[in-house]
Structure formats: structure tokens, C-alpha cells
Structure 1
């Protein structure tokens, strides 16, 4: 990993083109992320993942995907079973806490099994955002609950299930996207709540799970903390809140740097994110022109960021072949049916 650079790239199609292969070999992203546009058949997907790991130069090259369940599920049947949105787990937890926690663990474990079938080894779960009334539905039922303590407990169980399956979990969107009244894919959400209010609600699940290996930043402007820069680009938010108040010392990756919440040239965006304290910059749309510019703004992944990346990769362990996924799936279905 010594020559990996501090960014995560996304191929455009079913396999890297000649230009993409040459570019990725030269600019050595730390990892890659996949979307529905990259999925054609089970054999093709497995081959793509192997190609990307080869381009990354190591078997532990992280291959990320958003596989939450519900409306955020890149692998759908026949590639993977449909899983419920996270809110269904929170609803069941309110009725039976012990069963709800077991279901959250199984949810993470089964998602990991769905991904590892193709060699995909990193999942952007759990979503730890705590929604408030009037917030944009971009989070909506992706949230485990609107009770911060419940989000923390369920999120912990889900992350443990994911890691038990050998898959790296990425908690999101730190320090909290639940108050956003806009979709950051399209515009910058502005949150005016006081810092003390944010600490008591929005930050709490992340603080409870601050020992997890990886987190994704929120493109949210918190005016009471930094009224000029969104969290992803704010050294105040990252140093004082994420690293300080929340106490997170794992790998911090940006949300997609190409989202319209951000403006400016892509190398400047990347530089600003790294200078603010992000470890790795994520770029998702596969646009080669954007990636060429962005790559100029990211450094070699070394120092504290390199150590955090190494700790994250250490979670990518082989899973015991003795564990019966079908049995776990039957338990999950049975508990969901009984609790419902």
C-alpha cells in the first residue's frame, strides 16, 4: 500500500477500459467503489472485482459498495436477496430489544455474505444519521431510528455482523446528516441548530461507535460550528468535532466529491478535503476528465492516514467456511416473521 494515493475511484462500466486501466495503474487509488452501472452478470462482477484488486496491487484493496437494504441496494435479485431498509430493524427493536439487536447483527452479516460472494469487501453501512421532523427524505427509512441511543446500539450490532463476515463497514454520514433539509447530491444542506443540540442528538451515535475503523463525511454546512465550509471541507468540524468531541480516529473518507453540494475544480476540492483532515477522497461518477483533475489534488496515503488505512484493511479477514449462511438467513427470516 506504500504507493497508494488517498482516493477511491469508480470504473465507468462492466470492466475497466484500456484508458482506465492505464490511469488507475498510474494514479493508484487506495480503493474502488461499484454501482449498478458496473453489474451485468455474476461472473462478470466477480471478474471485475478481481481486476480492480489487481489494479490496486493487493488482495486487500477495498472494493466498496452501497448495500444497505431497502432503496439503497446496488445488488438486487438475482445477484443478492432484497433486504429491508434499516428502519424496519429499528421498528422491530422497539418491540423486542434482544431480537432487534440480533436481527441487526444478522442484517450486517448477511449483507457481508451477499457481497463476499463476488469478492466485494467493503460496505457503506451502518447509516447512523438521526432524522428530525421536516428533514429531507434522502435519509428517511435508511435511518435505523429517530432515537440516538437506539441508532447507536443497532448500528453497533450491524457493524459487528458486517465485520464478522470479513467486510469493512463504513459508518455514515459523520457527524450527522439527519437534519439536512436538502439532498446533498443536488445542493448544499444548511443546518442552523446549536452545537450543543447537535452534540446531544446527531453526534451521539458516532461517538458511541467511535472505535469503528471507517467513516464517511457529511456534505452539510453546520453554521454554529463553521459557517463557511461544509463538514467535509472544514478543519474545525473535523478536528474539533469528529476527531475531538466524537473521538473518532479511524479512516475518514469523504462522501462523493462530485456531488453538487460542493463547488470548484476537482483538484481544489480534493486538496481542501485532505487539508481539512479527511484521509481519503471518494469520487463516484466514473468521469475520466474529472478523475484526471482530482488525482492531481491527492497525496500518497502515508503518515497517520496511512496507518488508519492499514487498520481498516486489517478488518478484511477470511471468514470461517464452517459458518452456514443459509442457516443464518433462515434465522433472520424467522425472527423477522415472528417479531412482525
Structure 2
């Protein structure tokens, strides 16, 4: 069975026949869901089951469930989490609880991958689209909080995806709309923005940033072989690396070209989130077949999925709320 080196989205809350046929033929490594795909727990459980049935295997299904403004599972059916930056006073223990609670809610509806934690360092100039999602203002704080949240997710049977490598925090532009340039020396970045990702190089999955670092050249890091080489060889990241969404405004070229350039640079997987069926087909064609070392890394990521431990969700919620209430200034 061949796999396409892609994680793909779909149109709405139910899998359409033409989508099912495409997924059966293309066999993408995984799927991603957004608010447009989610109505309630019963509907979502049906959709995740239908997606796996379409490809005939236990494919990973991801969402962005960071908390705050980036949260696909929302009230009234699911818990509402604070923005990460507003939970810093609860420390690593609070982020471990946050991850474990999210995992419990996700696994209950067939989701087993989370595009979180966000290990970008918060700076005063960090663009508002990102700053509230950051897990600290120092490299050590980010690394500790992100590691705790990742472990909470793993304990609950959900794969964490650390992002956005090599570090989006200093960007003053929104990469959904334009391509940020971060003109800072490598020496300074290694001591700050890069440090959390080096500390988290044991995690199974990571996501790139659509940013330009001039010391690496003029290409977005997602499409820059020098950036991917730095992550792998210099930082020792051994997990599977996926692109950020190739449909974002920071990138140029056709969807197929974006997928091809991401894979050529060293991304193991191409993420394409929002499009019509023709666009998803183009992404799959550009991503190509998952094989070799890339396939081995993706297999290892799936092997990192754990059987979730039973938990008392309400007890976890009470414990987290107590930590948040005890934050300085609360």
C-alpha cells in the first residue's frame, strides 16, 4: 500500500462521495479538520470513522487545538481553554493538565493528532496572530511548558506537533497573508528562538514556519533545504517534519509547485488545509509517494501513539482551574 506524503482537509461536516473516492485512491498519510468540519461529538465521531474507512487504515487525524483563539473543539460541547500566554502563571504543571484534558476530549471523537504545542518565543513585537499562542517569554520557559503539554497529549493518546520550526516569534507579519523576514543573526537566534526546538528534538512530529531567515538565504524555511538541514543535522530533530499549510499567503506558486518545493527541501509531509477537491488533488500530486527515510520517520511517529490512560476529566479541570486561579494577579 503506497501513501501520499500529505495531510489533507475536506469541505464540510460529512465526507462526500467524491472526496471518499479521492482519499481512497490518493491514500494521504493523514487528515486535518477545521471548524467547518465540526458540529457536535456525534457528527465528529462519524466523520473521523468515515475518513479512516475511506483509506482502510488507522490514519492520523489532526486539528489545531492550542486553546484561546486557535481551538477547533469549542463550547458548548467542549472545554474552552485560555490563550497559552494567559496561563503562564500556572507553570508546566498547568500545561501538562491542559494537554491531558485536550487529549481526552480529542480521543473521544476519534482525533489523535494536535498541531500543538506552539514553541515560538513571545517577543514584544510578535504579531498578534501568534503572540497569545506562545508559551513563554524565555527559551527555558517555553521549552518546559511545551514539553509538559506535549507529554500530557501523549499520555492521552494524541500525537503532539511542535511548531513553528525554526521559530516564528520575532515575525511582525502574519504568514497567513505575507512572508515574514526575520533579519537576526544565527548566533542570537540559537540562544533564544531556536533553543526550545533544540530542547524538544525528541518529539515525534514538527511543523515548519513560512518565514525567511537571511542567513539561510531568501527562500521560506518550509522550502529551504538549508533550513531543513539545520533542523535535522544541527539540532538533531529525528521526527517527521511537515510543512505549515501550503495554502497560506506567505508562499507563491501553484499548490502543486508549493508541495513539490516543500518535499524537495526536506519536508517529510505536505499540509494542505483549505481548498476545493481539485486543489487537494494538486497538493497530493505535488507531494508524491511517501517512501524511504521519510516513510520511516512517519512510521516512527505513528508508533509513538500511546494507549490513553483513563482519567477523571472533571478532576483534571478542577485541578487546572485551581492552578489558574492561583496565578499572580488572578
Q: TM-score range by the shorter chain?
A: over 0.9
Deviations 1:58-81 (A, max 9, x none): 22x110000111111111112211
Counterpart of 1:97 in structure 2 is none
- Find out whether 1:149 has 2:140 as its counterpart: yes
Report the more deviating stretch, 292-301 or 67-76.
292-301
Structure 1 residue matching 2:287: 3-state secondary structure:
coil
Structure 1 residues 37-56: aligned runs within 5 Å: 37-56=36-55
Local SS of the residue matching 1:111: helix
1:286 maps to 275
1:211 is aligned to 202
Q: 2:228 maps to what in 1?
A: 238
Partners of 2:77 and 2:253 in 1: CA distance: 38
Describe how 1:219-258 pairs up with structure 2 within 5 A: 219-226=210-217, 228-239=218-229, 241-258=230-247
CA deviation vs aligned residue, 1:215-251 (integer Å, no higher than 9, x gap): 000000111222x211000001111x21122211101
Q: Does the 8 Å contact 1:9/1:286 carry over to 2?
A: no
Residue 314 of structure 2 is matched in structure 1 by 326
The number of equivalent residue pairs is 328
By how many angstroms is 1:56 displaced? 3.1
Partner of 2:253: 264
Report the Cα distance in structure 2 between the residues aligned to 1:203 and 1:54, rounded to whole angstroms.
40
What is the CA deviation profile of residues 159-181 of structure 1, one whole-angstrom value per residue up to 9, with x for unaligned ones?
A: 00010000000000011000111
Whether 1:194 and 2:185 are equivalent positions in the alignment is: yes
Query: Secondary structure, in 3 states, of the residue corresponding to 1:172?
Result: strand
Shift in Å, 1:200: 1.0
Distance in 1 (alpha carbons) for counterparts of 2:248 and 2:63: 17
Task: Give the aligned partner of residue 31 of structure 2.
Answer: 32
Pairwise CA RMSD: 1.2
Q: Any idea what the Cα deviations from partners look like across 1:81-120, whole Å, max 9, x if unmatched?
A: 1011111232x05xxxxxx221111011011111112111
In structure 2, stretches of 5+ residues that fail to align are: none
Question: Paired residue for 1:86?
Answer: 84
3-state secondary structure, aligned to 2:129: coil
In structure 1, what is the Cα distance between the partners aligned to 2:8 and 2:42?
22
* In 2, Cα distance between equivalents of 1:109 and 1:276: 34
Partners of 1:208 and 1:304 lie apart in 2 by 23
